[in-house]
Structure 1
Amino acid sequence: MGKSQKKKKSMRRHNPMRVPDSHLPKGLASAAQSSSRNAAVLPIIQKMESADTTERKWACVAVSNLIQNDPSTRRLLQGKNVVGALITRLTDSEEEVVVEAVGALRNLCIDGGYEICAEMYNKNILTPLTTFVPKISSVLSQYLANPKAAPENAQKLVYEFADNVITVLWCLSETSNKALNAINEINLTPFLMSFLASREKLPLGPVVSAAQCLYVLTDDNPPAIAVVRTDASHLSCLLSIARPENIANVEAVKNDPRLVTLSVLAAGILRNVSPLPPPTIVSLVDLDKDVVLPLLQPTIASISISEISSVAQELITQQANEPQIEKLSLKHAPKSDHKSSVEVELEKIETRLRTVQLALEILTGACATLPDPELGPAEEEEEGDDEVLEEEDNEGDMEMEAEDVDGDQPPVPAFIPTLVNPLLALIQPSALSFPPLAAPSPHPPTTSALSAVHITALECLNNVFLSLASSRKPEVAADVTSGAKIWNDVWSALAAVGTQTGLGQERREEIWEKAVGVLWGVGNVWKGSLEPNEEQVSLLIQFCNSSSVPRVKTQCIGTLECLAQRPDSIPANRVIADYLISLLPSGATPSSIDTEPLIQVASALIDIYSDENMPYDVNFRQGQYLNRLVSSVEGVRKAVRNIDRRKEGGRELRVRGDEVRDNLVAFIKYRRGLGL
């Protein structure tokens, strides 16, 4: 099993799109057909280049208004090079045009995600953005030194501008390593920390955006980590923000849930830069025990998916019944941040959900307590003998515990089991969690946030059960009732998700992919105790066959392996074993599956039938599985030898493959020696 961790190599955003557009057909023509605002697009692009300042400003505002929850219009604007046009406006001679252009780019980043961010980076958005950073710092210093130096509306404009610039930089940081390296050159950390240090004198918006940007920048990014880690004032500031007592004011948090977001982000940044160097006050704090968990546990328990979905549904209905005000009048150009009271409440719901998602992300890392396997130098390619099937005299007992974890594993932190129930509650979907089939969501941001919470909760559960399975705590395994309840809760969530696939339903499939990892973890903790339900076994086999992801196939096979070891479930054992046997290579015919799941198949069959005294061992003998295993050895050997160790994870897979191949050889000898 593998720990769920944020992807480091190819830095894709955890939530690539706030307003997904995968349900729409590809191409500019189809975007034009599906957009109800096709006629408005060309005038906007034309006015972007107008000699009239008012028209240029209007065009930038109009982009923000048109793309709101409207992916087809966003795609249409993209096809007309709206990104390039807005980036050009960042060097406009009029300040107000620049401000609105940054706001529109910010909204495109947030709603459109990775693809639009990549386009912005490729069109050199960082050059003008970089010039804004020192200007914002200078004005910010003046305002903080003398708050009455400028009118309130001027200050508001600067703070909103800062918020938008920081948000674009945050989104670009998550786009690719290339973009991240370019942003590292700007040395943003002191700039961002200045907002956090002055948080009590500034509006919450830019402060939270600065924390969000710093959280992303310190995620496995040594340059930013070093700046934070080596400055005691930075660490002290972050610790004071992350203190759990900061969110004790329920009324304040209810009015503005971003207060919780800020504390959670500070905790995440501290975890990102850990371990903290002595001799600072912060280094004396047990970060997880004293700060992270007391803050994050109540955060993830603070929402009920069903309640929050119900409130959101009422607001969406209310919004649909409100008269729509025309927002594109040139005479009365609205501010791009104009929101109705319903929109404000929906944004609060989204903020709460995104904060829970963030807390889950941090907890997922905290639950990944086990060290990754240490590998020695790459072994020489063996040309050696695999004369594994010859009858030899040394057919003694074989060791069947190759996968057991040594007794010196680090202890599982006490908090891990306490997370299970709140996490199980967060994986249960509501009617708003996914778009209806063949239709967009009634409110894409809420749907996107809900499904993201379900996915991150499953990732966290995966690490919880990986830790519990590896610790092999007898008292946990003995609580069979809890195991059955957890198992059934995960399947209940999957039943609500359904098996529908297709355009716009990618999140449903992703839920299944994450859930199978959790099922494997639960199966390992309560191996042999869980009852193999016929329908569930069938669904696991179907999902294994349909998935194109080797890791997911491996998890399905591992889960089936655990179910097959219930002593009294002889028919289910036969169904599972017949399926696993069918995946093995035979003679000159290679396996139909990739090497990683094939290795798991061989390991599973060894594990299932390692004890010939089990009631279900009758299936091994009657099905003549030994002969099939014998005919598979050469195919398994070839598959293992063909593993490319230069690829990511290749060395680890080769070590694992060699071990399983050796075990398969020894297992065949052992079973032959029994003479059954």
Structure 2
Amino acid sequence: MGKSQKKKSMRRHNPMRVPDSHLPHGLAAASESSSKTNEILPIIQKMESADASERRWACVAVSNIIQNDPATRRLLQGRNVVGALITRLSDSEEEVWVEAMGALRNLCIDGGYDICAEMYNKNILTPLKAFIPKISTTLSQLLENPKTSPDSAKKIVYELAENVITTLWCLSETSNKALNAINDIQLIPFLMSFLAAKHILPLATVTSAAQCLYVLTDDNFPAIKELRTDAAYLACLLELAKSEGATNGKQKELDNKAVALSVLSAGILRNVMPIPPPSVASTLDMDKDIILPLLQPVITSISLHAISDSVQELLQRQATEPSLEKLSLKGTPQSDHKTDIERQLDSLEARLRTVQLSLEILTGVCATLPDPESDVSPDQEEDEDEDEDAEIDEAGADDAEGGDDVEMDADEPESKKSASPSFLPNLVLPLLQLIQPTALSFPPLSSPSPHPPTTSALSAVHISALECLNNIFLSLTISPPENVAKDVQSGVSVWNSIWSALQLVGTQTGTGQERRQEFWEIAVGALWGIGNVWKGAVEPHAEQVQVLMQLCDSTSDERLRVKCVGTLECLAQYPTAIEQNKNIAEYFLGLLPTAGPSRVGTEPMIQAVSALIDIYSDETLPYDVNFRQGNFTSVLASSLDGVKKAIKAIDRRKEGGNDLRRRGDLVRENLVEFIKYRKSLKL
């Protein structure tokens, strides 16, 4: 299993804060799904009004009307609201373009990639570029003479800056084309100026700049180079990363924005590693000295079930309170139109997003452990790891639901040859708690979430925690420390805890259930890692074996099929599980290309062949009786031609084709030798 520092296809921004994949496509469908169809036309019309107050009203109304309402957002999209708002960015009245910018920013956050792509295609970068020097000049004046500037003027420029920066952040994740265009703007000095003035500017504005920097430095060399080579920038980030390091597990007593700013700063520093001298940061072990002391308390200080309960309680209160008429034409709505309950809901969502961000960074930490046999420097290994294929993902309850307690001793001295730093076991327990779903995490299609942003954030935390667990156990697979490998009870407890979560998540598939499916895909990878660390020690249960087989048969994703086969292979090696070993082996034999191509595809078939060789390489094990009684030697021999043909048909021009062909050839050679060996035993 190869390691990877980066999973380049993953982007940091949540693709859609208010998911809408469950909705049918098309204007007519959106109109039927939205309860605000009749309010759309007045908004679009007043966007073009000669009266500036009406234009401002229309811009604010867009933000109000799309809140937690994907159907109405789609309907507005169909009426070219994006193009209308971009036009308003050049409005003659400041209040209008400020509100238009706010509406565009909210559309970015709520609408995800599609709306961001539309904005890019409609040339939003031209007005955004024009705003940047204006914001810089105004901010400089405010900071030089703060007493001479009215609070209202400060508020406008701070909000405008936050909205512009957040929109740029979202756009940078839309496509490489958009990212390259944003690189050309050379935003780094502009964004760092906010972090440098962190003690003066509002925390929300500074945090938005840090979020944008975090995204821009994610595998984006121009931004990385500019930050990496500026000692002042690095010193500023280091100070911010250290500022909330000593949280002692009391995150809820701190301002979440301050914690988020520290987490983002640590993430930026990690993105730009390795840091060259003479920066102080170059002398630090970034993961050990900065990342872990900061992030471990963040992920252990939150109860997802408590947050879920709080959200449901707030929603019940909201349902009984009189609603404000946000779109009344009698009075112009305000930008800060949210009620106290809505602000509390936003605050809870923000805490979840901070935990998700922490998990993303920790997932990267766990993906870059040194190989035990390697003597290369960490810097050399970072470069080499970039070229390896990725099995490890980059980036994701209460014990009552989470299975047995896990006791992994992390205090024993670490061997120099260990691939597993002692912090890994310390992370396992909190991560297992964070994968346990709540009532709001994965609502069924028949009953949409009562608060989609919370559901989106909760499911993102579960998945990020799973990704981190996946990396931990794949890293441990490389060379399990003796104290971990011997602790079979911990392995079984972790295994059971993940299955407990899977049972609660359920197997509902279809439109709108993408997060549920993603949870399963990552969980199977984690199970494979656990099975490898404690190979032969996890007893197979018939229902779990059946679920893995059904998943392998039903999915069209060959990589997920490989994970299913790999996990089943580990279960089949429990010495005394004779019946389940037979069940799994017969399933694998059914994947071989005897009378035609394998029904699961070439890569999973190769994995199945390799698994059969591994399972039956020791003829003294109790379950080897299945091999002899089933005459598996003959079955394998009859599949040789089909295996050879399938491997020769691998397209080397496709991504990963060369590696798969090499592996296939090796497995085929091993199969030939294995058949010879089993025949020579004459059992």
Do these two structures clear the TM 0.5 threshold for a shared fold by scoring above it?
Answer: yes
**DSSP 3-state at the match of 1:243:** helix
**Counterpart position of 1:666:** 673
**Counterpart position of 1:637:** 644
Is the CA contact 1:438–1:504 (under 8 Å) kept in the aligned structure 2? no
Aligned counterparts of 2:511 and 2:623: Cα–Cα separation in 1: 43
| 1:356-401 deviation per Cα after TM superposition (whole angstroms, max 9, x unaligned) | 10000000000012469979x9xxxxxxxxxxxxxxxxxxxxxxxx
Distance 1:308 1:2, change over 3 A: farther
**Counterpart position of 2:519:** 511
Is the CA contact 2:418–2:480 (under 8 Å) kept in the aligned structure 1? no
Q: TM (normalized to structure 1)? A: 0.92
Is the CA contact 2:420–2:480 (under 8 Å) kept in the aligned structure 1? no
Distance 1:119 1:152, change over 3 A: same
Aligned counterparts of 1:297 and 1:538: Cα–Cα separation in 2: 36
**Counterpart position of 1:442:** 450
Is the CA contact 2:419–2:480 (under 8 Å) kept in the aligned structure 1? no
Amino acid in the other structure paired with 1:328: L
Deviation for aligned residue 1:198: 0.4
Which one of 562, 567, 583 corresponds to residue 559 of structure 1? 567
Deviation for aligned residue 1:12: 4.6
**Counterpart position of 1:460:** 468
* Runs of 5+ consecutive residues of structure 2 not aligned to the other structure: 372-380, 388-414
**DSSP 3-state at the match of 2:336:** coil
Deviation for aligned residue 1:252: 9.0
**DSSP 3-state at the match of 2:546:** helix
Distance 1:462 1:132, change over 3 A: same
Deviation for aligned residue 1:337: 2.7
Within the alignment, does 1:609 sit opposite 2:628 as a pair? no
Is the CA contact 1:11–1:177 (under 8 Å) kept in the aligned structure 2? no
Aligned counterparts of 1:631 and 1:221: Cα–Cα separation in 2: 50
**DSSP 3-state at the match of 1:201:** coil
**Counterpart position of 1:276:** 275
Deviation for aligned residue 1:141: 1.0
Amino acid in the other structure paired with 1:92: D
**DSSP 3-state at the match of 1:601:** helix
**Counterpart position of 2:46:** 47
Amino acid in the other structure paired with 1:606: I
Tell which deviates more after alignment, 252-261 or 475-484: 252-261
Aligned counterparts of 2:205 and 2:244: Cα–Cα separation in 1: 22
**Counterpart position of 2:435:** 427
Aligned counterparts of 2:149 and 2:252: Cα–Cα separation in 1: 30
**Counterpart position of 1:112:** 111
**Counterpart position of 1:550:** 558
Deviation for aligned residue 1:15: 2.1
Aligned counterparts of 1:572 and 1:138: Cα–Cα separation in 2: 71
> 1:493-508 counterparts in 2 under 5 A?
493-508=501-516
**Counterpart position of 1:415:** 423
**Counterpart position of 1:538:** 546
**Counterpart position of 1:203:** 202
Which one of 567, 581, 586 corresponds to residue 573 of structure 1? 581
Distance 1:430 1:265, change over 3 A: same
**Counterpart position of 2:533:** 525
Aligned counterparts of 2:309 and 2:358: Cα–Cα separation in 1: 22
Within the alignment, does 1:650 sit opposite 2:651 as a pair? no
**Counterpart position of 2:391:** none
| 1:587-639 deviation per Cα after TM superposition (whole angstroms, max 9, x unaligned) | 5x111112221111111111101111111111111112112211222222222
> 1:138-153 counterparts in 2 under 5 A?
138-153=137-152
Within the alignment, does 1:357 sit opposite 2:350 as a pair? no
Is the CA contact 2:298–2:358 (under 8 Å) kept in the aligned structure 1? yes
Deviation for aligned residue 1:244: 5.5
> 1:120-519 counterparts in 2 under 5 A?
120-243=119-242, 245=244, 248=247, 254=253, 256-370=255-369, 411-519=419-527
Is the CA contact 1:276–1:282 (under 8 Å) kept in the aligned structure 2? yes
Identity %: 67
Deviation for aligned residue 1:305: 1.4
Is the CA contact 1:142–1:149 (under 8 Å) kept in the aligned structure 2? no
Distance 1:120 1:11, change over 3 A: farther
Amino acid in the other structure paired with 1:276: I
Is the CA contact 1:23–1:438 (under 8 Å) kept in the aligned structure 2? no
**Counterpart position of 1:78:** 77
Amino acid in the other structure paired with 1:576: I
Distance 1:220 1:601, change over 3 A: same
| 1:93-129 deviation per Cα after TM superposition (whole angstroms, max 9, x unaligned) | 1111110111000000101111111111111111111
Tell which deviates more after alignment, 578-587 or 64-73: 578-587
Distance 1:503 1:103, change over 3 A: same
Is the CA contact 2:3–2:368 (under 8 Å) kept in the aligned structure 1? no
Paired residues in the alignment total 645
Deviation for aligned residue 1:313: 1.2
Deviation for aligned residue 1:675: 1.7
Tell which deviates more after alignment, 663-672 or 570-579: 663-672
**DSSP 3-state at the match of 2:511:** coil
Aligned counterparts of 1:454 and 1:279: Cα–Cα separation in 2: 39
RMSD: 2.0
Aligned counterparts of 1:2 and 1:51: Cα–Cα separation in 2: 62
Amino acid in the other structure paired with 1:614: L
* Runs of 5+ consecutive residues of structure 1 not aligned to the other structure: 378-406
Within the alignment, does 1:627 sit opposite 2:634 as a pair? yes
Aligned counterparts of 1:662 and 1:251: Cα–Cα separation in 2: 57
Is the CA contact 2:244–2:258 (under 8 Å) kept in the aligned structure 1? no
| 1:34-83 deviation per Cα after TM superposition (whole angstroms, max 9, x unaligned) | 10000010111111111111111111101000000000000100111111
Distance 1:3 1:66, change over 3 A: farther
